A = this chain, B = another copy of it.
Amino acid sequence: MPEFLHVISSDEFIQRTSRFARPSPEHVSLDAALQRLAAADTISPEDLPEWARSTVDGYAVRAEDTFGASDSIPCFLEITAAVEMGTIPDAVLSPGQAAQIPTGGFLPRGADAVVMVEYTNHAGGSSIEVSRPVTVGANVLEKGEDVKSGETVVRAGRVLRAQELGLLAALGIDRVPVYRKPRVAVISTGDEIVSVGKRPRPGQIRDANSHSISALVTSSGAAPIVFDIVPDNAKMLRESLERGLELGDLVVLSGGSSVGVRDLMVDVVSSLAGVELLAHGVAIRPGKPTMLAEWKGKAIFGLPGHPVSALIVAQVFLVPFLRYLQGCNLEKGPLGQRTKAELASSIHSIIGLEEFIRVGLTKTAKGACFAHPVFGKSGMLSTMVKADGLVVVPMNVEGFARGDTVEVVGW
C-alpha cells in the first residue's frame, strides 16, 4: 500500500535528496573532463618549468657581469652560444660571456638572468654592448616557480575549465579524477502519449517530456537513457521502472496529470521490494504532486505529466541533484543566471505554496530591466518558450506589486 506523506517544503525536498551517494569517481582523459568537477586533488609530479626559462628575447648572462652598465658606459660581453628552442646548450657560460636566447628558451648553465634585446647593441665580431644592468633572475621563470613538484594544482570540487586542462597537460597529467556521469533513465508515461514521430489519433498528444527532460539531463552533464512511452498500466510501468533502475543511476518518471494516474504511479513505485517513499507532495506551484523514492541507493523522481510542470520541477530539483551527484553542492534550482528586474505587472500568489512564475525580460536603451509575467493559461506549453526565466514567490508571500524589484532566474 502506498505510504502517503505530508506535503513538504521545497527546502525539505532538497534535503531529502542529500541522502544519495555520488557515483564512484573515474579517471578520464583531459578532453573528456571539460566542465566536469575534479573528484580529488591533483598533485603535480614535477616542477614547472623543469629548468629556468627566459621570458623575453635577448641574451642569457651572468647578472653580475652587467652590474653598473648604462647607456654611457655599457658593458661588453662575448656571445659564445645561441640557445635553440627544444634544447639546452652544452656549454657553461663563463664570466664575460653571453648566449643569444629566444623567449621560452632554457637558460644555459652558468647564466642566471636575461638581458632584453632592446638593451643591447652589436659591438662588432661576436661582441655585444649591454646598456642596462639586470639582477639575478631578471626576465627568467625559475625552475618550479610556476608549479612546484608536490603542489596541489587542481583542488577537489574545481570545475575543469580550459585553463585547468591546459595546466594539467603542461604537467604531463593526461587523466583526471571526476565523478562518473550519472545515467538517468527518462520514462514518459500516459495512455494518451505518443512519440514525436507518430500522428496522434483523436484524444492523443505527443510526448514533450522525453525531449525536454533528457535535454535538461544532458545540459546538467549527465547521460539520459530515453525509454519508450509507457501506458497507464501497472504491470508495464513496473517493468519499465525495474529496467530503468537496472540501467540507470536514477529514474525520472513523468506522467499522471489526473489524480487516478498519479495514484497508479505511487502504487507501482511503492510496490518495489525495499523501496522507501521519501516525498509525495511538495508545497510548490506548479509541481505539487512531485514524488521522490529510494530503492537500493538509487533515486526515483516522479515528475508531473504536464510538460510545463515537469520542466519547472526538473529545474528546481532534478538539475541541482544531478549536479550534486557530479560534485557540486546541493542547492535549490533553478540554477540559471540571476538578474534583478522591475516587475512590469503585479503577481498574485497563494500563501502556503512557493510559486514559480514565468516571466519575459526586456531591457530599455538606458539599461533598465523589466520582468513581464507571461500571459496565457498556466498549462500552455508556449508559455515556457516565451519565458526567459522564473520569479520565485516564497511560500509566505502573497505576491509582488508592479514596480517591485524582483530576481529573475534564467532557466
Given that A30-B211, A106-B202, A196-B174 are contacting pairs, would A163 and B257 also be in contact in the complex, using a CB cutoff of 8 Å? no
- A400 touches B (CB below 8 Å): no
Contact B55 A258 (CB under 8 A): no
- A259 touches B (CB below 8 Å): yes
How many chain copies?
A: 2
Contact of A381 among B161, B167, B205 (CB under 8 A): B167
Contact of A261 among B85, B210, B211 (CB under 8 A): B85
A165 to B173, CA, bound (A): 39
Given that A34-B218, A169-B207, A311-B166 are contacting pairs, would A190 and B377 also be in contact in the complex, using a CB cutoff of 8 Å? no
Q: Beta-carbon contacts of A81-95 to B below 8 Å, as 1s and 0s? A: 000111110000000
For A381, the closest partner residue in chain B by CB is: B167
Contact of A197 among B88, B167, B174 (CB under 8 A): B174
- A136 touches B (CB below 8 Å): no
Size bracket of the A interface: 35 or more
**Stretch of A141-149, A266-274, A346-354 on the interface side:** A141-149
Known: A147-B382, A170-B208. 4 other contacts (CB 8 A): A31-B215, A103-B257, A161-B215, A170-B205
A-side residues, CB < 8 A to B, are 30-31, 34-35, 48-51, 55, 57, 84-88, 102-106, 141, 145-147, 153-154, 161-174, 190-193, 196-197, 199-216, 218-219, 232, 257-261, 305-307, 311, 314, 337, 376-377, 379-382, 384-385, 387, 411
